[in-house]
Structure 1
Amino acid sequence: MSSNTTFGVESTRIGSRRAATVGGIVIAVLGLFAVVFPFFTGLSLSILLGALLVVGALVHAAHAFSAGSLGNFVWQVLLAGLYAVAGISFMANPVVGLATLTVLAIGFFLADGVVELVWGFQSRGEPGSKWLLASGAISLLFGGLLWTGFPTTAFWAVGVLLGVNLLATGVSLIVVGRGAGAASDPEVSTGKQGQQM
């Protein structure tokens, strides 16, 4: 019975390693396409965000009829209208939506940079404070570069950022899938132990 259990656990491990590796390859390839075609990726994200906002508008509108009171009904209808206008705007003119996403990314990088620099200065002398300062400076620099190049950066920034993120995630999943395989393989671990003796 224990051999069946061991076989079941081992086959589950092999399956999860393969899934991580295959998933990592797919995500990395998508990331590579996003980096190569950043404008198309950005437009696709803008349209997708618009569609999600429209779905959110429909959910708010449906929920308005079960809100229970007139006040809740009014707030739900107002939110539905806000979501609908934003979603339709993103889908009708995805370039404007892309510019909006780029401005949000710029704001994120600038805010992230300031927070990490303040945190790094407050924790001077502690382990990792230099990394916080470096990360904060890079975020501020990147946000500043995107801002000075705006609106031209809107055509590529969101797509490249998503692509780099997907590429890094994909590669890390591939490494985890392959690394987990080597670490959990009993033959590999006993072989290494035999070499050490």
Structure 2
Amino acid sequence: MNPLSEVRAKWGWFVALGVVLLAFGVIAALNLFWATVVSVYYVGIMMIVGGAVHLAHAFQVKAWRETIAWALSAVLYLAAGVLAFVNPVLTSAVLTLLMAAALLVAGVFRIFAAWRVRPERGWGWLMAGGVVTTLAGLVFLLGWPINSLWLLGLFLAFDLAMQGWALIWFGLALRR
């Protein structure tokens, strides 16, 4: 059987998953604070799992100095993960600040890259993307720390809704 026809036969599953994700996106959008807390908890879980793996790895390293370095790294991961559960508001503020800084740096690099390829066609699109990314980082930074109570939740809601719509339309296109 053709792999594409197997995917087409499952069009309804794509639509159903899309509807579920879209509904979750709407629920998240209705309470951005709680969506932010859920996002922080998710990051916290990942950090705790990462810290546990680091700690297990630390004791697999035979050299004592390397064991200490890996163990300290594990403890930092574990502490950050626990902090996400103990104080999700503080953690959301830190994550929002890091996101703002990352957007600012990425935007400046994109502007620089666009400027360097300036004679090429389409360089303006690269420049526009860099400017938008830089402005987003600046807006996030100027609204910090107040926006950290809802910004991560907004990103989660937007992502869930966009993935939901994408899967719905993909499934409907497969049906045709």
**Shorter-chain TM-score tier:** 0.7 to 0.9
Report the CA distance shift for 1:172/1:128 in structure 2 as closer, same or farther (over 3 A).
Answer: farther
Residues in 1 aligned to 2:161 and 2:7: alpha-carbon distance in whole angstroms: 26
Q: Does 1:131 align with 2:144?
A: no
Correspondence for 2:9: 14
Following superposition, the deviation at residue 113 of structure 1 comes to 1.5
Choose between structure 1 and 2 for higher RCO, CA contacts under 8 A separated by at least 6 residues. Answer: 2
Structure 1 unaligned residues grouped into runs of 5+ = 183-197
Following superposition, the deviation at residue 143 of structure 1 comes to 1.3
TM-score, structure 2 normalization: 0.88
Structure 1 residues 131-170: aligned runs within 5 Å: 131-170=125-164
Correspondence for 2:96: 102
- The one-character-per-residue Cα deviations of 1:63-106 (angstroms, maximum 9, x if unpaired) are 22222222332122111211122111121101011001111211
Correspondence for 1:57: 51
1:121 to 115, 118, 123: 115
Residues in 2 aligned to 1:53 and 1:12: alpha-carbon distance in whole angstroms: 35
Aligned residues: 176
Residues in 1 aligned to 2:114 and 2:84: alpha-carbon distance in whole angstroms: 37
Residues in 1 aligned to 2:51 and 2:6: alpha-carbon distance in whole angstroms: 45
Report the CA distance shift for 1:128/1:23 in structure 2 as closer, same or farther (over 3 A).
Answer: farther
Report the CA distance shift for 1:42/1:9 in structure 2 as closer, same or farther (over 3 A).
Answer: closer
Correspondence for 1:34: 28
Give the AA of the match of 1:97: T
Residues in 2 aligned to 1:88 and 1:44: alpha-carbon distance in whole angstroms: 14
Structure 2 unaligned residues grouped into runs of 5+ = none
Deviates most, 50-59 or 90-99: 50-59
Over aligned residues, Cα RMSD in angstroms? 2.1
Correspondence for 2:17: 23
Q: Which of these two proteins has the greater Rg computed from alpha carbons?
A: 1
Report the CA distance shift for 1:84/1:118 in structure 2 as closer, same or farther (over 3 A).
Answer: same
Correspondence for 1:180: 174
Deviates most, 99-108 or 111-120: 111-120
- The one-character-per-residue Cα deviations of 1:25-80 (angstroms, maximum 9, x if unpaired) are 22222222222211111111112212221222222222222222223321221112
TM-score, structure 1 normalization: 0.79
Q: 2:39–2:156: 8 Å Cα contact kept in structure 1?
A: no
Deviates most, 118-127 or 33-42: 118-127
